[in-house]
Amino acid sequence: MSPLSTLIRGCAKIHSEAELQTKLALGRPLRIKLGVDPTAPDIHLGHGVVLSKLRDFQDAGHEAILIIGDFTAMIGDPSGRSVTRPQLTHDQVLANAKSYQEQAFKILTRERAKIVFNGEWFEAMSFEEVIKLNSRVTLQQMLVREDFRDRLDKGQPIRAHEIQYPIMQGWDSVMVKADVELGGTDQLFNIMVGRDLQREEGQPQQVAMTMPILEGLDGHQKMSKSLGNYVALNESPGDMFGKIMSISDELMVRYYDILLREAIPAGSHPMDAKKSLARRITARFHDEAVAAHALEEFNKRFSSRDLDSAELPDFAPGSARDFVSLVVEAYAQCFQASRSRSDARRLIEGGSVQWRGEKVADAKAVLPPGETGVLKLDKTRAVRIAA
């Protein structure tokens, strides 16, 4: 496989392939820009798609320039958004940035990687410079974007600072002299602004390369932290495996295509194909042995419904022994999840909670101390009471 075809594999759109070829012919390492906004501490499989592409470039000898948008994160990228993002404080952003980097290097290699914070240049900008920068872009250009158009049509507010975002992202490209900028397809507009600004600054224009957007676990909306439909890169092997198993067959086709860049093996049972997908993704972010173990555990717990021999967190109940209390405490103690007592009661009444494989019929029932066994809480969570 020639380097070019490797580099453009899995890509949604390039502007343009010819330009990329010209740049590659320069014979020097190219500066490949990827901007990330640390708006949340987790990065997920969706980010992974673009990061993997960046890794492809690294492997081909090019330099990854990861721009941590500590400054832009405070604005919030309006791309694909129907509401204004909440603005974060600088401290939150820095904390997120830290865990962000750790996760990004699960995919990227430290060699040929450079990390820059865009606060470096934006913080130093005077208001005069900001105005000057703004004068290069027209409101019309900004407003033709679909997401803005949409909000305009629906009568939803668009705040003035939001239209700054593409300009700032574009300016990042100028500051790092990017040769190529990567992003999701929803980033195309922002990346193109970068090209405009570079041209005006007399720089060679960056090549815009966009990657397909990965749908979230629900199969409809894009994977994102705020929608809760994501698989984080630092997710535990079991959770990662399990979350992937919960996707629809339809979505699995997409995941195969985008994440593994291959088609589903012909003739295989969808469930087997999914297990294989889950195992491979888990192996990618952990390792083979761990992934194989996750598969085994999954089979035990869900295929053979053998909770007794499955690995479950140990739960040490407090003094309150009625099932409502047990459920609430188990969630808090073993899953860091807070559940109200009403919620717990609903789960019990709905038949979700099982003690030793039997539905708990009476929420007021009391479990005598010393009893041991498995307490199933909901579809995916169960705990073991050991003593």
Residues forming the site for RNA (CB under 7 A): 152, 155-157, 218, 238, 241-243, 245-249, 252, 270-271, 274, 298, 302-303, 322, 340-343, 345-347, 350-352, 364, 378-380
- CA 288 to chain centroid, in Å, comes to 22
Query: At 210, is the secondary structure helix, strand, or coil?
Result: strand
DSSP structure string for 261-320:
-SPPPTT--HHHHHHHHHHHHHHHHS-HHHHHHHHHHHIIIIIS---TTS---B----S-
Residue 161 CB, nearest approach to RNA (Å): 12
DSSP 76: -
* Closest listed residue to residue 347, CA positions, set 316, 372, 325: 325
Comparing CB distances to RNA, the nearer of 284 and 339 is 339
Comparing CB distances to RNA, the nearer of 9 and 159 is 159
Comparing CB distances to RNA, the nearer of 134 and 342 is 342
Residue 310 CB, nearest approach to RNA (Å): 11
Residue 275 CB, nearest approach to RNA (Å): 9
- Residue 162 CA to residue 221 CA, distance in Å, equals 22
Can you give the three-state secondary structure of 10-58, one letter per residue?
CCCEEECHHHHHHHHCCCCCCEEEEEECCCCCCCEHHHHHHHHHHHHHH
The token pair that represents 290 in the structure block: 């761990």
Comparing CB distances to RNA, the nearer of 151 and 195 is 151
Residue 73 CB, nearest approach to RNA (Å): 22
Residue 59 CB, nearest approach to RNA (Å): 32
Residue 174 CB, nearest approach to RNA (Å): 31
- Residue 218 CA to residue 298 CA, distance in Å, equals 20
Residue 302 CB, nearest approach to RNA (Å): 4
* Closest listed residue to residue 38, CA positions, set 97, 80, 115: 97
**CA quadruple 280, 281, 283, 284: dihedral, nearest 10:** 120
- CA 21 to chain centroid, in Å, comes to 30
